[in-house]
Structure 1
Amino acid sequence: MAAGFIVFMCIVVASKGIDINSLKLEQVVMLGRHNIRTPLTEGLELYSSKPWPKWNDAAGILTPKGLRFEGYIAEYISQWLDTEDFFEGCPQKDDVLIYANTKSRTLESAKAFAETAFNNCNISVQHYENLGAFDPLFLPIFHNKTEAFKKQVAEEMKKRLSEMNLTHAYTELGRILNIKDADICKKLFMCDLNTQQSEIVLEDGEEPNVNGPLYIANAVVDAFIMSYYEGRPMSDVAWGQIETDQQWDLLAKIITENQNIRFKLQSAAKDIASPLLKYMFNIFNSGKPKFTLLVGHDSNLNSVLTALEFKPFERKLQFEPYPIGGKIVFQKFSDRKGQYLKVEYIYPTTKQLRDGEKLTSNNPPQRITLELNGCPISPTGYCQWSEFMKLNELFD
């Protein structure tokens, strides 16, 4: 009895006065990325004469495995919510919002989540009325149209490009592609990704982008990663040329640099993410609905994390910067003393994705506690809700 009391008191003290055993989960807002899809770029034959694996669907479509794995994530999260006594049976419709971008991969991921997490509860997925257009809420574009802002962003992107060092990654990718025998070499005279410069592309109403070697390399590595996640034989993943984790880490630097140059921008992240963050803070302010899932893209996770100024963190057991199927989970807790925020990044490992493993308490996804610069956390990962809500002023 005495030993148990001592352990209990240690927990309270370590949490800076927060008794984690008395906390009640009041609200959850998740920002997630869709699940496994087909590669985004068609026409990859230009970059290698080797036979590329065939996909059953067009570019950027959720695969059947992606559909199934989103269900695994939903089941895991549903079980976690049960341990928190979050809902009793089926929730009221007003207590749940599942909202997805208009891309089929986001809509289908959201439907898979809803059908599994809230099985037989008749929870529907909401979306922008025009399914033929990218939902402005998720569209990662610049909203500030001034020339001064555009110039500032261009300068930051160019600086990032100049500091980027992908020499070894480009060399390795060129070897895997055997690029000197590819049409891009024979017809366009790009025979070495290291010999040409990438270029910034900024157009009104369009995502910030990069042309040249970085665009090409990102498209190719994306195809390799999706083939790996899909569980294809390794002979069909980069033609069996990726044999070590070190190679994956090297090639994944291309994906990371592409993301960072385009969306991890100190000068523009708040502007890019402002519609999504205003929407999220409206939910935080009202306290309703009780559970929200917003299904978007890696660009959304990147810009939101950057805009809110989260501290750097390690993505364990993954080589993607914003893993497929991952969720940033904002959790509002309360006790008799006050209200608190905890933010976790829940995402599947590369092994879990490739092997199609069910996610359970015995085989959980990664759960990384995140910390905002403006909201210091206790040793157990909680910060004051009032401090978090001050960030709302940045997006009014």
Structure 2
Amino acid sequence: MVVLAFVAISPPAFAADDMALEQVVLVYRHGVRSPLPGEIQVDEVHGRAWPAWPVPPSILTSHGREGVMAMGRFDRQWLSGAGLFPSRGCPVAGSVGIWANTDQRTIASAQALADAFAPGCGLKVGHLPQGAADPVFNPVASNAVEWDGHAALATIQRETKGPDALTAQHRDAMSAFGRVMGCVAGDSQPACVPAAWHGTLAMGADGKGIALAGPIADTSGTSEAIIMAYLEGKPMADVGWGRVDAATFRLLSQLHSLLFDVHARPSYVADRVAAVLSGRILAILDDPQAPRLNVFVGSDNNIVALASVLGMHFEMSGYGKDDPPVGGALGITVWRSRSDGHRIVRVVYQAQTPDQLRYLRPLTKDEPPARQELVPEACKASLSHCDLDKVLDVLRRSAAHRRG
């Protein structure tokens, strides 16, 4: 796979020498983990076994921890280069805030980021008890937002045209999935037969959740298990039974992301999935006394929902459109004019390429992670900058869906 390098963040283009980096919020996805329970929905059609993992299901691996630490070290490099932190030593007390979701993989990833960002400094990671439902990352499950399952279903159907319409746009990815699963002429399993690629979308049995069945539900998690095997550095014979190359990796990533087109990106869903996180970010950006760096460590759906709220799409090196790379981060950076105090925002996505993570390549100024600059919908009419107030207004609208 090809490594694409992007330079670390620089001041906004207009009056660059007048702009100082003031605050950064990074929303990270956890590092490489073993497959989740029930994640694999389709087996190799001729009975070949899935590879074994060195840890129980859903756990951050040692390789995953090393990959996350590489990002933490790089964050210290570019933030010190931008003048937000010294290049060495411990940050000033209260200048870094880190909050993680309650899964082992998110807590461990957050601690790895902390340890790499400030070695030996004992940066603390905040989180609720392991396994609890944290409203920041799971607002619907924790009943922290107003939620109408029928309204959600109607929005999903209207904005996606249904699961079959989504699948129809990615028949090349479905075909690639079939090849990886071992389909050959004459095989009759659903993954091998295009005529069987039909899904359903309905209300869940509880009257609140969304029940998705069919090829998107079947291929998303299964593809992710193969993606994780590649990123873990497993021998290629154990990555999709030796049937995955760079192009196939990207297509599997595209299938993985289709699940978010149902469960995270549609407007009604995104506004609520991101509501509590939006509120937390809103409070941080509106508080001059907040930590200079705030890090949230959650999952892919948290990033997709926040990106949707802000009206942004992304496509990172090696991955499919809108699929959050493992161990990558969506960043909101706030810059202040030294001359008049005006504050503007730049949004960036940074993540290791698949090969950087697979081979644990050191991240440096000369060989940084991939990076994409994103423009919130509210700022697309501006040719030079994005006013902070415009971003705050968008976050405020999402946060309004919180209960209480």
Aligned counterpart, 1:273 = 274
- Report the AA paired with residue 177 of structure 1: M
In structure 2, C-alpha distance between the alignment counterparts of 1:389 and 1:175, rounded to whole Å: 46
Distance 1:147 1:107, change over 3 A: closer
Q: CA deviation at 1:157?
A: 6.7
In structure 2, the residue corresponding to 1:35 is in which secondary structure?
Answer: coil
- Report the AA paired with residue 24 of structure 2: V
Identity of counterpart residues, as a percentage? Answer: 26
Q: 2:164 aligns with which of 162, 165, 170?
A: 162
In structure 1, C-alpha distance between the alignment counterparts of 2:207 and 2:359, rounded to whole Å: 39
In structure 2, C-alpha distance between the alignment counterparts of 1:375 and 1:147, rounded to whole Å: 31
- Report the AA paired with residue 247 of structure 1: T
In structure 1, C-alpha distance between the alignment counterparts of 2:53 and 2:201, rounded to whole Å: 31
Distance 1:136 1:42, change over 3 A: same
Aligned counterpart, 1:32 = 28
In structure 1, the residue corresponding to 2:268 is in which secondary structure?
Answer: coil
Q: CA deviation at 1:376?
A: 3.9
Q: CA deviation at 1:351?
A: 1.4
Whether the 8 Å contact between 2:98 and 2:294 is mirrored in structure 1 is yes
Q: CA deviation at 1:122?
A: 1.9
Q: CA deviation at 1:366?
A: 1.2
Aligned counterpart, 2:178 = 174
In structure 1, the residue corresponding to 2:225 is in which secondary structure?
Answer: helix
- Report the AA paired with residue 72 of structure 1: A
Distance 1:26 1:154, change over 3 A: closer
Question: Greater shift after overlay, 314-323 or 92-101?
Answer: 314-323
Aligned counterpart, 1:139 = 138
1:221-254 alpha-carbon deviations (Å, 9 max, x no partner): 11110111111111111111124x3322333321
Aligned counterpart, 1:92 = 92
Distance 1:315 1:132, change over 3 A: closer
Aligned counterpart, 2:228 = 226
- Report the AA paired with residue 52 of structure 2: K
In structure 2, C-alpha distance between the alignment counterparts of 1:367 and 1:253, rounded to whole Å: 19
Q: CA deviation at 1:32?
A: 0.8
Question: Greater shift after overlay, 94-103 or 40-49?
Answer: 40-49
In structure 2, C-alpha distance between the alignment counterparts of 1:125 and 1:266, rounded to whole Å: 31
Aligned counterpart, 2:65 = 67
Q: CA RMSD in A?
A: 2.9
Q: Where do 4+ consecutive residues of structure 1 move more than 6 Å?
A: none
In structure 2, the residue corresponding to 1:346 is in which secondary structure?
Answer: strand
In structure 2, C-alpha distance between the alignment counterparts of 1:110 and 1:346, rounded to whole Å: 16
In structure 2, C-alpha distance between the alignment counterparts of 1:255 and 1:325, rounded to whole Å: 16
Whether the 8 Å contact between 2:163 and 2:198 is mirrored in structure 1 is no
TM-score by length of 1: 0.85
In structure 1, C-alpha distance between the alignment counterparts of 2:391 and 2:40, rounded to whole Å: 44
Q: CA deviation at 1:271?
A: 1.9
Q: CA deviation at 1:382?
A: 3.8
Aligned counterpart, 2:386 = 383
Distance 1:283 1:179, change over 3 A: same
Q: CA deviation at 1:62?
A: 0.7
Aligned counterpart, 2:75 = 77
Whether the 8 Å contact between 1:141 and 1:206 is mirrored in structure 2 is no
Q: CA deviation at 1:305?
A: 0.5
Question: Greater shift after overlay, 167-176 or 343-352?
Answer: 167-176
Aligned counterpart, 2:199 = 198
Aligned counterpart, 2:213 = 211
Q: CA deviation at 1:357?
A: 0.5
In structure 2, C-alpha distance between the alignment counterparts of 1:177 and 1:77, rounded to whole Å: 38
Whether the 8 Å contact between 1:377 and 1:383 is mirrored in structure 2 is no
Q: CA deviation at 1:393?
A: 3.5
In structure 2, C-alpha distance between the alignment counterparts of 1:328 and 1:43, rounded to whole Å: 25
TM-score by length of 2: 0.84
In structure 2, C-alpha distance between the alignment counterparts of 1:217 and 1:365, rounded to whole Å: 28
1:13-48 alpha-carbon deviations (Å, 9 max, x no partner): x94xx3212321111111110011112244859622
In structure 2, the residue corresponding to 1:343 is in which secondary structure?
Answer: strand
- Report the AA paired with residue 274 of structure 1: A
In structure 2, C-alpha distance between the alignment counterparts of 1:43 and 1:247, rounded to whole Å: 19
Question: Greater shift after overlay, 84-93 or 357-366?
Answer: 84-93
Q: CA deviation at 1:147?
A: 5.9
- Report the AA paired with residue 55 of structure 1: W
Q: CA deviation at 1:285?
A: 1.1
Distance 1:147 1:55, change over 3 A: closer
Q: CA deviation at 1:60?
A: 1.5
1:234-288 alpha-carbon deviations (Å, 9 max, x no partner): 1111111124x33223333211212212211023211221111011101111130
In structure 1, the residue corresponding to 2:304 is in which secondary structure?
Answer: helix
In structure 1, the residue corresponding to 2:368 is in which secondary structure?
Answer: coil
Higher share in helix: 1
- Runs of 5+ consecutive residues of structure 2 not aligned to the other structure: 1-9
Distance 1:258 1:44, change over 3 A: closer
In structure 1, C-alpha distance between the alignment counterparts of 2:183 and 2:104, rounded to whole Å: 33
Question: Greater shift after overlay, 53-62 or 137-146?
Answer: 137-146
In structure 2, C-alpha distance between the alignment counterparts of 1:121 and 1:44, rounded to whole Å: 39
Q: CA deviation at 1:135?
A: 1.4
- Report the AA paired with residue 20 of structure 2: K
